[in-house]
A and B are shown apart, each in its own frame.
Chain A
Amino acid sequence: MGSLTTARILIIGLAVVAAASFLPLGVSGYILGLLTIAYYFGVFAMAWDLLFGFAGEVNFGPTFLIGTGAYTAGILDNLYQPPIWLCIAAGALAAVAGGVVLALPALRVRGPYFGLTTLVAVLILQSFVVVDASLTGGEIGLTVPDVITVSDAKNYEIALWFMAVSGAILFSLSRSPVGLILQASGQDAVQAGALGFNVTKHKLAAFIISAFFSGLAGALLVFYFGSASVGTFVDITVGVQIIIAVVLGGRRTILGAVLGSVFIIAMSEALRPIGDLANFVVFAMALVVVLRFPGGFFGLLTRTKENG
């Protein structure tokens, strides 16, 4: 029953992605650029949802992982100019290391303490990036000599299929037996332990997977922009936007995160005319959702009754 629906959803998803891959034929480069960013953002959000929705860990600083991946890739390229794929791989690995570092206190402390640790992690990374300006470009930012490609269409396709593959992996994971164990670890660690599951091991795995995809997407994004800065990669505001994307789309659905991301990017774009207030409005909308519709978009759609 479960796997049949999973396969069906994956096939529908594939169809949607295939359709989306034809967009470059009729859509302007500007919109393609927006969607490219939205897709990478979608991966950030899906990775966050895995950690939160399943392992039950609220990460207020996803940009710690993203920033680590992005800056590692960027700095490496600046210093030694190795092949791009090597920089990206290094970025992903650095993010994984960061995820392990973040996981260690998480597995020892409860709830709000962990959330605070993640916020602090972002601030520390920010401080180091700003202070070590010779290496990182400081507040101005880092430019990298290479980009993946300058073609809008190609960048779009790369982002789209990267998101599709990441999404397929993360979604399948969430529906698999391992995903079930993760959910148990997050919802009721005592029960999970009593059923014979090493909760620590599974939560660590969730951290590593989340970090991997976050870092990978971050590194790819650096080679899309051709630059990296604290404001785009290591910012608390960006982290909050990721959380909003997931909450808007529906927590614990993985796919909802993508919907939320596209919505946020589209909203920010649509509100561009009002200038700097755009962010304010998006956040206000998110606040209303948090206060009134905590189930998000997917929650409204499916209206699953969990409460007794």
Chain B
Amino acid sequence: MLFWQILIDGFAISSLYALGATGFALIFGVSGVLNLSHGALMVTAVVAAWAAGNDLHAGPYAGAALGVAVGFAATLLTYFVIVSPLQRTRKIREEEKEIFILTATLLWGIMIQELIAYLYTNNAKTVAPIVQGVVSIVGVRTPSNEIFTAVVCWLVIGLLWLLVNRTRAGKAVLAASMNPRGVTLLGIELSQIYIAVWAIYGLLVGVAGVLLGMFLGVSSYSVGPLTASAFSIVVLGGLGSVSGALIAAYVVGYLETLTAYLISPAYRTIPALLLLVAVMYVRPRGLLGRR
């Protein structure tokens, strides 16, 4: 019984992690940016959806849509205001830019966290789920919402895969992640590719955030752990490898679920962090890393 419960719960949370981590990995793979405001952007989406329900009395669908839209907008804002200016500036040496972008996105993320705490307090918030009710799988009573979450995550990941591997624009993005210079030589503007990638990331963040809000709920305190789990997964899977991130998401998701059920929910984040440290020591490249 417990086994099935862990299997199902773990699958749902892993799928959610996979969606968020895919976006994080995509941004790093194509534009080389480790966005440390990732968690903050997800929480922004959730809070927007929550506020839609709470303040505007919108229905679950409208609330979700608003959440995704706000998450999308916040992500693009991050690109245009923080990341892009830093990438282009001449005041900082090239070797130091990575660090400045890390610091700036970290700062930005914390700013958003403080703002949310100020405007909406740091209490936990959940978003009204689109799918209600309980379903019985293999004898385990599972909220239908969990199934919905997993399904939507995989739908979006599937769409992303189709986009990248089957459309012309998608292949250009993939090519840019392999060789930006090559893409320019073929007459494709890199700046447009970056905007496209951040836009996709914005959608992923918005959807993942809203789903998380419906599934577990968030508070402004979730910002740090969400970013941490995203980059843990991406580092475990290998920086730059989206498929690696997918696999690692499930490793981390199940580790957390197992810990929560078998040891204690309070310890749930620890094993994944320890695994990350071990990987850093032993195989910094990660499972399928390229860079």
Chain A residues numbered 261-308 whose CB sits less than 8 Å from any CB in chain B: 275-277, 279-280, 283-284, 286-287, 290-291, 294-295, 307
A283's partner among B85, B89, B114 (CB-CB below 8 A) is: B114
Is B115's CB within 8 Å of the partner chain A?
yes
Q: Which of B86, B118, B225 contacts A123 (CB 8 A)?
A: B225
**In whole angstroms, how far apart are the Cα atoms of A237 and B266 in the complex?**
22
- Let me know if B232 is at the binding interface, CB within 8 A: yes
The contact size tier of chain B is 35 or more
CA distance A243 to B89 in the complex (A): 21
Alpha-carbon distance A130/B232, docked complex (angstroms): 20
Chain A CB count within 10 A is highest, among B85, B93, B284, for B284
Is the CB–CB distance between B267 and A127 below 8 Å? yes
State whether A247 touches B276 (Cβ < 8 A).
Answer: no
Contact B118 A105 (CB under 8 A): no
| Minimum CB distance partner of B268 in chain A | A127
Q: How many residues of A contact B (CB 8 A)?
A: 41
| Interchain CB contact (< 8 A) of A115 among B99, B111, B117, B224 | B99
CB–CB A127/B284 < 8 A: no
Task: State whether A294 touches B92 (Cβ < 8 A).
Answer: yes
**Which residues on the A side are within 8 Å of B232 (C-beta)?**
120
Shortest CB–CB separation between residue B113 and chain A, in angstroms? 8
The answer on a CB contact under 8 Å between B93 and A58 is no
Assembly CA distance A290 to B103 (angstroms): 8
Interface residues of A in 110-124 (CB under 8 A from B): 111-113, 115-117, 119-121, 123-124
A8 to B46, CA, bound (A): 56
Cβ A111 vs Cβ B267 within 8 A:
no
A104 touches B281 (CB 8 A): yes
Q: Which residue of the partner chain A has the closest CB to B267?
A: A131
Does A244 interact with chain B (Cβ within 8 Å)? Answer: yes
Binary A-proximity of B259-271 (CB < 8 A = 1, otherwise 0): 0000000110110
A119 CA to B34 CA, complexed, in Å:
13
Distance, CA A274 to CA B276, complexed state (A): 40
**Bound CA–CA A280/B225 (angstroms):** 19
Q: Are A284 and B111 in contact (CB-based, < 8 A)?
A: yes
List B contacts of A131 (CB < 8 A): 266-267, 270
Q: Is B131 an interface residue (CB 8 A)?
A: no
A108 neighbours in B (Cβ, 8 Å): 281, 284
Q: Which residues of B contact A279 (CB under 8 A)?
A: 110, 114
- Tell me whether A211 is interfacial, beta carbon within 8 Å: no
Given the known interface contacts A105-B284, A116-B235, A119-B228, the answer about A127 and B270 at a Cβ–Cβ threshold of 8 Å is yes
Distance, CA A108 to CA B281, complexed state (A) = 8
Tell me the B1-23 residues at the A interface (CB within 8 Å): none
Given contacts A104-B281, A287-B108, contact A116 B231 (CB under 8 A): yes
Q: Which of A34-61 contact B (CB under 8 A)?
A: 58, 60
Q: How far is the CB of B89 from chain A (nearest CB, A)?
A: 8
Q: Give bound CA distance, A294 to B91, whole Å.
A: 7
> Is B185 part of the contact surface with A, judged by Cβ < 8 Å?
no
Q: Which of A109, A113, A123 contacts B224 (CB 8 A)?
A: A123
Interface residues of B in 256-288 (CB under 8 A from A): 266-267, 269-270, 273-274, 276-277, 280-281, 284
A240 at interface by CB-CB < 8 Å:
yes
Q: Taking the complex as formed, is A236 at the interface, i.e. its CB lies under 8 A from any CB of chain B?
A: yes
Q: A236-B224, A277-B114 are in contact. Are A287 and B270 (CB under 8 A)?
A: no
Pick from A113, A123, A275, A294: contact of B273, CB under 8 Å: A123
| Chain A residues with CB under 8 A of B108 | 287
Q: How far is the CA of A119 from the CA of B99 in the complex (A)?
A: 13
CA distance A297 to B267 in the complex (A): 43
In the bound complex, CA of A112 to CA of B34 (Å): 8
Tell me the minimal C-beta distance from A308 to chain B in angstroms: 11
Contact between A115 and B82, CB atoms less than 8 A apart: no
What is the CA–CA distance of A236 and B269 in the complex, to the nearest angstrom? 16
Residues of B with C-beta under 8 A to A295? 91
Q: How far is it, in angstroms, between the C-alpha of A280 and the C-alpha of B220 when the chains are bound?
A: 13
Q: Is the CB of A280 within 8 A of B115?
A: yes
Binary interface encoding of chain A residues 128-145 relative to chain B, with 1 for a CB under 8 A from any of its CBs, else 0: 101100000000000000
Asked if B93 and A283 sit within 8 Å, CB to CB, the answer is no
Shortest C-beta distance, B4 to chain A (Å), equals 28
Once A113-B235, A117-B277, A120-B228 are accepted as A-B contacts, the answer to whether A294 and B111 lie under 8 Å apart by CB is: no
- Give the distance to chain B from A263, nearest Cβ to Cβ, in Å: 16
- Known pairs A113-B235, A240-B110; list 15 more (Cβ under 8 Å): A58-B99, A105-B281, A112-B99, A117-B277, A117-B280, A120-B228, A120-B232, A120-B277, A123-B273, A124-B273, A127-B270, A277-B115, A283-B114, A286-B107, A291-B89
User: Nearest 4 CB-CB pairs, A to B?
Assistant: A280-B114, A109-B284, A283-B111, A276-B118
- 30 chain-A/chain-B pairs, Cβ below 8 angstroms: A58-B102, A60-B106, A105-B280, A109-B280, A111-B98, A113-B235, A113-B284, A116-B34, A116-B231, A119-B228, A120-B228, A124-B273, A127-B267, A127-B270, A127-B273, A131-B266, A131-B267, A236-B110, A276-B114, A276-B118, A277-B115, A280-B111, A280-B115, A283-B111, A283-B114, A286-B107, A287-B104, A287-B107, A290-B104, A294-B100
